[in-house]
Amino acid sequence: MTQKPTLTDEAPAVRSAPKPPRPPRRLGVRQVLTALRTFVRSQPLGAAALLLICFFVFVAVFAPLVAPYDPVQQFRRDILEPPSGTYLFGTDDLGRDVLSRTIYGAQTSLLIGVVTTGVSLVLGTAIGVVSGYFGRALDVVVQRVMDSVQAIPGIVLLLFIAVILGPSVRNTIIALTVVITPSFNRIARAETLRVRQEPYVEAARATGAHAPRILALHVLPNLLASVLTLGSLIFAGVIIAESALSFLGIGAPPPTPSWGLMLSEGVRYVERAPWLIIVPSIALSIAVFSFNLLGDALRDHLDPRLQRRALDRVTGLWWGRRMLSRLAPSLSRAADKN
Amino acid sequence: MSGSDVSVASGPQLADERAAPLFEARDLVKQFRSRRTVVQAVNGVSLKIPRGRTVGLVGESGSGKSTVARLALRLLDPTSGEVSFDGVDLLRASRAEMRALRRRMQIVFQDPLGSLNPRMRVLNAVGEPLSVHGIAKGKDKADRVVELLERVGLSSGDLYKFSHQFSGGQAQRIGIARALATDPDLIVCDEAVSALDVSVQAQVLNLLKELQAELGLSYLFIAHDLNVVRYMADEVCVMYLGEIVERGDGDELFADPRHPYTKMLVSAVPEFAPELADGRGRRSIPRGEPASPSDPPPGCRFHPRCPQAMRRCREEAPAMHRVPTGRAVACHLFDAPAAPADAEREASER
Amino acid sequence: MIGYALRRLGFGAVVMFLVTVFVFMIMRLVPGDAVSLQLQDTGVSKAEADAMRAEFGLDDPVWVQLWTWLGDAVQGDLGTSFYSGESVVDLFLARIPVTVQLGLMAMMLGAVLGLVVGVVAAATRGSMVDGAMRLFAVAFLSVPNFVVALLVLTGLAIWFAWSPPIVYTGPAEDFTSWAQQIAIPVIALGTGGMASVARLTRSSMLESLGSDYIRTVRAKGVRERVVIAKHALRNSTIAVLTLLGLELATVLGGTVIIERMFSLPGTGQLIYQAVLDRDYPVVVACTIFYAGLFVITIILIDLLYALVDPRIRSGKALS
């Protein structure tokens, strides 16, 4: 040792009147506002998307107040009326107000989206975390099962389950949950494998922490960002899938106001009443667009490393990190260095 | 040196060690198997750490130092060998026993920021051992954590910060505070200062020394930097490709290295070998790179790089020899009194 | 390499077996079968219904049915349709050409346009053009393929009073009619792929443009256009190829809706109708066929990567 170091570090060793500060509250209004502000600054597009989503949620929740008419009320004298002051977006072949149906359609979409995404997020994450952390035979079995569910193209599996169970909102949710859970499993497992190797997990094991504690306090908090990001992107996918199912006539049954259903009812009047197609199309596309954009922004905002998973969302398949790391080995290596 | 007799494992300070060392490892072997290859990360390492002392472990990267650290704490299970802590056989300890023992042995990692959970406040990171072992919670835990933080040179103001708000040196202090939380007897420092700037290194090393003096800690101090190890360690073990090739008292070992590999390491550090630098002595310049641990050379693992390699070195693995001044060396040069001369002759003929 | 290929094939076989088990389980676990459906329509007697069940083997336990099916499948017999009585293999072969035409053209459209857009965006990174293209890519990803088709249909109907022919004719019989009918489906199926390819091309090009390797090429004084065209693009191709492989599943899934919308007699239409009719043999065969196609694509991609990156072969890299 050449130098004679002394204890004058970055932090002074002695401090007068050491009074511990009050513990900050976990989740107060101020914390949420600060988090929002940083998000808006770093991701203006994402913030715009968030605003749109808030708008959709508002419209969906307060549909009875916002919508000018009852969505299933048929005005027999005003069939296929073009947009006007009375019917802002016109009426359909049964004389129902398109605007009101679109607004209630948001309700259906959001309901199915929230329940499906929520259930499969919890389920898939739990499966992925446990399977990834404990590994071995359990992991192999669980992952092969998930692989095989994912090997069936989503729409085919959806069709299959939805038809067998019969058309209803509840069954649409069940079918979508089966299809989507493996995606969350996959990302949660990949993230668990990453986190499991972090020194802080090893440190926790070295102090003798039990697996449940490590999973709850170390693994879960550190993969939440990825899971939530995927959640936003999946939400977009669920909205599409729901409308596709009801478009095919095996989703929500009529007269439930659903965007897909409106589209399939409108196809016959393409020339006479294009608003029947255009209005729900735009509503559907903007909703999906907002969630996609929010997902993108969340990914960039929460963790720049997640950019490498761009592909997952892009394909709508979420075949997962295994494929991805092969896809761009240099990318993941560069990301690991950061 | 696999299968070497146990007695040679005791280096200097014989008297101390006979009074039951705090930690002892015997003939540790760890192999990692992948589909086609078997990596021999650790091959027959024996260690003793007396109470209140520091044993240093040096070697190039890939020599198996960190694996030894993990085996010592049973974060990994060895392929074979024995580990005991304060007389308790760690490999036969029940889960509950093991958990209780973990209070008494802790680890400080190389990557100070990486070893702190980015989503955890300092209070919970440092207090984690307290919660895990049910030692303290709530206000008691906070008080104890503040005490620990102040002990390592941080303050109560840092209690609710996250790891990204700290510099590397501060983060390492937090890591040390966490290791101290359960009043351990042994702390394994796995390259604990390697990632820090030199000026910060010295501060952290001094902190570790103070803590040792104050709390009577024992350290297993692992580093690749000879300077750091010499500063910290009472006894030094030099590792090469999973084996200990030389061990002895710290200062003496660096002043008078015996094993060709140790010589090579030492002569690469100008401060250690000034008499070599001016050209009077024969300077063994480091040459080559270590072989892959998945395919170690036969015989003495060092022979492909050894300037004094003999035919015998290629065929037969050397045993640990005790040489005067309380040193142990695993090298054929010390097989018989005449050997060194022969070897030099042979080496110069080549 | 061969060992690796065999392992991947083994993995594929396991997945395919699980898919089959999965499909059989769902099929039999739910109430209602083909016979009871027909019962509703025609009002056959209970005895007749039981006889029909026995004929189709529906009264056997699930695992017996599974085993019989697997045994037959290995010999190239995928069963016969409950409804038309035709062999499933024949039904399938008759409908494959349409789906293949549709899928290939959609993927080619997506790949070519996507590459162009992606390269332009990468070359003009940070500019307005780049920003606009990125936004458009997300926008295109957000419009479901059947909505694209609907909007195109609507637009053409309003402005040109034109709509595609309803009855499908093969390209050999009447090329113009065929082209008119298949154009919109191809566009609808291709846009999503285009957006994905554009995004991936852009990001992987930017990745390689920032790499040391490209920096060296630039330092040698190679012109920027050549750097982009020759070096960066080449490095991105494998990523894009992979994406296209994965895109196959999306396109195949899309054909189910699109073929129905435009009444194109492809496999998508077949599976849709079969699912509605609970025509078990056809549903099982179609689902497994689609899954098989996807698994094979995945394996091919894996092998492609193994060829490029030796670390994967030895199983060392990437858990």
- Residue C272, chain A, CB below 8 Å: the answer is yes
- Mean pLDDT (10-residue bins), chain B, 350 residues: 40 51 90 80 89 91 87 90 90 88 90 87 91 88 92 88 87 92 92 87 92 93 90 91 88 85 82 56 63 80 83 84 81 66 46
Nearest to B203 among A2, A9, A19 (CB): A9
Model pLDDT for residues C152-211, shown as the tens digit of each residue: 888 888 888 887 877 787 777 888 888 888 889 999 999 888 888 888 888 778 777 777
At B55 the pLDDT is 94
Distance CA A185, CA A188 (A): 5
Q: Are C257 and A327 within 8 A, CB to CB?
A: no
Distance CA C249, CA C266 (A): 15
DSSP, residue by residue, B209-255: HHHHHHH--EEEEEES-HHHHHHH-SEEEEEETTEEEEEEEHHHHHH
**What's the predicted TM-score (pTM) here?**
0.80
Q: Tally A–C CB contacts below 8 A.
A: 185
- In this predicted structure, what is the pLDDT of residue A218? 92
Q: Long-range pairs for A85-94 at CB < 8 Å and ≥24 separation?
A: A89/A275, A89/A279, A90/A273, A90/A275, A90/A276, A90/A279, A92/A262, A92/A265, A92/A266, A92/A269, A92/A273, A92/A276, A93/A265, A93/A268, A93/A269, A93/A273, A93/A276
Partner-chain contact A315 C196, CB within 8 Å: yes
Q: How far is C290 from chain A (nearest CA, A)?
A: 7
**Interface probe, candidates A16, A207, A222, chain B, greatest B C-beta count within 10 A:** A207
Query: Can you give the residue range of the structural domain that contains C27?
Result: 1-82+278-319
Look at C165 and A310; give whichever has higher pLDDT: C165
Q: Are C129 and C32 part of one and the same domain?
A: no
Alpha-carbon distance A328 to nearest alpha carbon in chain C (angstroms): 7
Cβ–Cβ of A328/C239 closer than 8 Å? yes
In a domain, C224, yes or no: yes
Reported as a single tens digit per residue, the pLDDT across C209-265 is 777 777 787 778 778 777 777 777 777 777 787 778 777 877 888 888 899 888 889
Q: What is the pLDDT of residue A312?
A: 39
Domain-located, residue B169: no
Q: Return the residue of A nearest to C276 by Cα.
A: A163
Whether A153 and C302 lie within 8 Å, measured CB to CB: no
Contact C146 A164 (CB under 8 A): no
Determine if the peptide bond prior to A167 is cis (ω within 30°). Answer: no
Chain A: residue whose CA lies nearest to C148:
A281
Q: Look at residue C87 and tell me if it is in a domain.
A: no
- pLDDT-derived band at A3, boundaries 50, 70, 90: very low
Tell me, yes or no, whether C36 and C166 share the same domain: no
Residue of B nearest to C4 (CA): B35
Range of the domain at B16: 3-104+184-273+283-349
Q: Which of residues 197-236 of C touch A (CB under 8 A)?
A: 199-200, 203-204, 207-208, 211
Same domain, C137 and C42: no
Q: Is A42 on the interface with C (CB under 8 A)?
A: no
Structural domain contains residue C90? no
C175 and C70 together in one domain: no
A243 near A264, Cβ under 8 Å? no
The number of folded domains in chain B is 1
**Partner residue opposite A278 with nearest CB, options C18, C154, C319:** C154
Q: Does a structural domain hold residue C205?
A: yes
Q: Which two tokens stand for residue C9?
A: 């094939």
Contact A155 C257 (CB under 8 A): yes
In a domain, B47, yes or no: yes
Whether A253 has a pLDDT exceeding 50, the answer reads yes
In the complex, which subunits touch C with 3 or more CB pairs below 8 angstroms?
A: A, B
Contacts of A5 (CB under 8 A, 6+ apart): B199, B202, B203, B205, B206
C-beta of residue B75 within 8 angstroms of C-beta of residue A202: yes
A177 reaches C (C-beta below 8 A): no
Identify the chains in contact with B, defined as 3+ C-beta pairs within 8 A: A, C
Q: What is the ipTM of this complex?
A: 0.80
Task: With a cut of 60, say whether residue C146 has pLDDT above it.
Answer: yes
Domain-located, residue C88: no
Distance from CA of B34 to the nearest CA of C (A): 8
CB B333 within 8 A of CB B308: yes
Indicate if C207 and C63 belong to the same structural domain: no
CATH code, A48-302: 1.10.3720.10
The pLDDT assigned to C24 comes to 78
**What per-residue confidence (pLDDT) applies to A234?**
87
* Closest Cα in chain A to C19: A148
Distance CA B317, CA B304 (A): 13
- Number of domains observed in the structure of chain C: 2
- Which of B75, B118, B124 has the CB atom closest to A206's CB atom? B75
Average pLDDT over residues C60-88: 79
Residue B50 in any domain: the answer is: yes
Residue B290, domain CATH: 3.40.50.300
Alpha carbon separation from B18 to B51, B114, B321, C219 (Å, rounded): 11, 39, 20, 65
- Residue A63: per-residue pLDDT: 87
Judged by DSSP in three states, C238 sits in helix
Judging contacts by C-beta atoms under 8 Å, the chain A residues touching residue B206 are 5-7
Cα Rg for chain A, rounded, in angstroms? Answer: 25
Measured between CA atoms, how close is C316 to chain B, in angstroms? 8
pLDDT band at C41 (very low <50, low <70, confident <90, very high): low
